Amino acid sequence: MNDFKSFNEFIEEQHGHSTKADSNLDVVENPEQPPAIGNTISLKSGKKRKHKGNRKSSLRSNILIGFSVIIIFFLALLLLPVPLGYIVLTGSDILTVDDILFEGKIRQPVNVLQISTSQLEERLSRDIRIDSVQVHRKFPLTMEVVVHDRIPIAIVQGEFGYALVDKDGIVMDTVQSISKVTVPLITGKRFGNLLLEDRISGSDIDEALNFLNNLSPAGIRVFSEVNIGNPENINAYTREGIAVRLGDGERMEERARLAEDMVGDVKARGLSVEYLDANPASALIKLKK
């Protein structure tokens, strides 16, 4: 009977056990809450990573689109007939920009980005009127063509007429007759059938060209003729008829400068002379009696 418990004791024992059980459940349930919170955080961070990845992908796409547009734009400038830039011609008194376009085979409208400077130089150098040419670009969109004209320095007699030659003896033009002489004639020797771009040569003609090449532009206008009929006794004549002896052409550079100075001195002093001897060793002015 001592082991018999009253109903109240039984209820109290049951209540106390129930309370402990509840307490144990709380202990078990509380550790489960942090993982739930952790799971929530991991989901949010995953969304953030996804947003960042989308932004990077979008930025790359925009960059690729931008580069594509730029490439297409420049290809259009290089290939399509779009007017862009200018061609500037300097140094020439003979050629025009239209000549440059024609000789360079440049299509219009002009786009300087489509023109090769080396190719244009090569094409223009074939023009007999051009002695030398340089083509280069200037910022921002200008192509400058610098031309040095091929200038006639003398006239020689050929088989069927006359030919104008430059400082190197290259034939620039041929004519049947000459009505107005603007450069000196080289006389005393007749050449064969001369054509454009032919080059005359020989020791006598070389000495005559050497004489003319060492005169100033004003000095060339002073002389009307260089006679090479006797290579041992070359003579030049001014437009006033003054004869200048040049000997066999030895030291011709010095003789040319001396001859120009002597003629200038005679004209300045108003002298009447029979001839001048432009010998660097012993120059002589022979006066008329």
Average pLDDT over every residue of 264-272: 93
Same domain, 133 and 199: no
Residue 280 lies in a domain: yes
Averaged pLDDT of the chain:
83
- 246-255: per-residue pLDDT in tens? 999 899 999 9
Same domain, 173 and 188: yes
Q: Read off the amino acid at residue 156.
A: V
- 134-186: per-residue pLDDT in tens? 999 998 889 999 999 999 999 999 998 999 999 999 999 999 888 877 899 99
Residue 158 lies in a domain: yes
**pLDDT computed for residue 20 by the predictor:** 44
Residue 14: pLDDT above 90? no
**pLDDT computed for residue 157 by the predictor:** 94
Same domain, 117 and 54: no
Same domain, 104 and 64: no
- Residues 275-284: contacts with CB within 8 Å, 24+ apart? 275/242, 275/243, 275/244, 275/245, 276/242, 276/243, 276/244, 276/245, 277/244, 277/245, 278/244, 278/245, 278/246, 279/245, 279/247, 279/255, 280/251, 280/254, 280/255, 283/258
Average pLDDT over every residue of 88-99: 94
Residue 18: pLDDT above 50? no
Residue 183 lies in a domain: yes
Residue 8 lies in a domain: no
Residue 233 lies in a domain: yes
User: Contact at 8 Å (CB) between 128 and 157?
Assistant: no
Counting the structural domains of the chain, the total is 3
- 41-64: per-residue pLDDT in tens? 444 555 555 566 677 777 777 777
Residue 144 lies in a domain: yes
Confidence band, pLDDT 50/70/90 cuts, at residue 3: low
| Domain CATH code at residue 198 | 3.40.50.10960
**pLDDT computed for residue 66 by the predictor:** 75
Confidence band, pLDDT 50/70/90 cuts, at residue 26: very low
Same domain, 194 and 272: yes
Same domain, 282 and 207: yes
Same domain, 161 and 283: yes
Same domain, 201 and 243: yes
Higher pLDDT pick, 25 / 55: 55
Same domain, 54 and 90: no
Residue 19 lies in a domain: no
Residue 17 lies in a domain: no
Same domain, 280 and 245: yes
Same domain, 187 and 217: yes
Q: Write the CB contacts of 16 (distance below 8 Å, at least 6 apart in sequence).
A: none
Residue 235: pLDDT above 90? yes
The span from the CA of 45 to the CA of 40, in Å, is: 9
Confidence band, pLDDT 50/70/90 cuts, at residue 205: very high
Residue 31: pLDDT above 70? no
Residue 271's domain comprises 154-287
**pLDDT computed for residue 198 by the predictor:** 94
Average pLDDT over every residue of 78-101: 86
| Domain CATH code at residue 99 | 3.10.20.310
Same domain, 228 and 167: yes
Residue 123: pLDDT above 70? yes
**3-state percent breakdown (helix, strand, coil) of the chain, nearest 5:** 45, 25, 35
Locate all alpha helices (DSSP H) within the chain, ordered by sequence: 7-79, 97-103, 117-124, 203-213, 217-222, 252-269
Residue 124: pLDDT above 50? yes
Q: How many CB atoms lie within 10 A of CB 191?
A: 18
Q: Write the CB contacts of 196 (distance below 8 Å, at least 6 apart in sequence).
A: 128, 171, 172, 173, 174
Q: 77, 103, 138: which is the final residue of a domain?
A: 77
Average pLDDT over every residue of 235-263: 95
